[in-house]
Amino acid sequence: MRQFYLPELTKENTRFTLPIEESKHISRVLRMKNGDEIQLLNGKGLVAVAAITDNNPKATEVDILRFEEFPLPAEEIHIAIAPTKNNDRIEYFLEKATEIGVTKVSLLLTDNAERNKVKLDRFEKIFVSAMKQSKRVHLPILEDLVKTKDFINAHPNGLIAHCYEDTKTNIFTSFKAQSCPIIIGPEGDFSEQELALAKEKGYTPITLGENRLRTETAGLYAVTVARLWLDMNS
């Protein structure tokens, strides 16, 4: 069944008008007709099966047939990552990380930042598209750019991937499902001051293997390992 995103979906109403983007897709791309059934998601675990009552390409109307609610998973995969200079690369990370199972992405403004502005609306659309494609019912949380020191102070006791000579542990053995953000720096790495602060606040330096990885690759590696850890320990 085709899925469509409707953030205002609640159990209190049984009739909704879809936004224009979803309405156009239903009417002009999929050529769906009145009476066809679709699935609506609010990104917070609420799912509804609905019947199209008016396939208007500007404002499709639907009636809810039934609801189903899915609780938010207790486990968290929280990646804090510095946006890449090439916007396509960070967008690729966001899409694939959502498909794999990331639950939260925080964007870091590091001392060696390659990008100090991002288009959150664009990133959120990527999250929505990837959520629907991968049949997820919870939309990952996206947090705007924040200075590394502020993030570390607000989220102590995580994991930090960096390229300095250091004593590091394997990410698989260090990951914990609860309150364990994994921070990934820019291509120029974290500054020595950022690394020192992270260690002071209880961050464990981790290795992501012997090869040096690009920022977005390191992020995907971390998400994948965390997902495997959760699958093996569920």
SS (H, E, C) the chain: CCEEECCCCCCCCCEEECCHHHHHHHHHHCCCCCCCEEEEECCECEEEEEEEEECCCCCCEEEEEEEEECCCCCCCCEEEECCCCCHHHHHHHHHHHHHHCCCEEEEEECCCCCCCCCCHHHHHHHHHHHHHHCCCCECCEEEEEEEHHHHHHHCCCCEEECCCCCCCEEHHHHCCCCCCCEEECCCCCCCHHHHHHHHHCCCEEEECCCCCCCHHHHHHHHHHHHHHHHHHCC
3-69 is classed CATH 3.20.20.80: no
pLDDT at 205: 96
Distances (CA, A) of 184 to 98, 139, 201: 17, 21, 16
Q: How far apart are CA 139 and CA 5, in angstroms?
A: 10
pLDDT at 85: 93
> Architecture of 78-232 per CATH?
3-Layer(aba) Sandwich (3.40)
Model pTM score: 0.93
Q: Quick check: do 3-69 and 78-232 share a fold?
A: no
Q: pLDDT of the chain along its 234 residues, tens only? A: 999 999 999 999 999 999 999 999 999 999 999 999 999 999 999 999 999 999 999 999 999 999 999 998 888 999 999 999 999 999 999 999 999 999 999 999 999 998 889 999 999 999 999 999 999 999 999 999 999 999 999 999 999 999 999 999 999 888 987 678 999 999 999 999 999 999 999 999 999 988 999 999 999 999 999 999 999 987
pLDDT at 179: 72
Residue 92: strand pairing partners: none
pLDDT at 201: 96
- Domain ranges across the chain: 3-69, 78-232
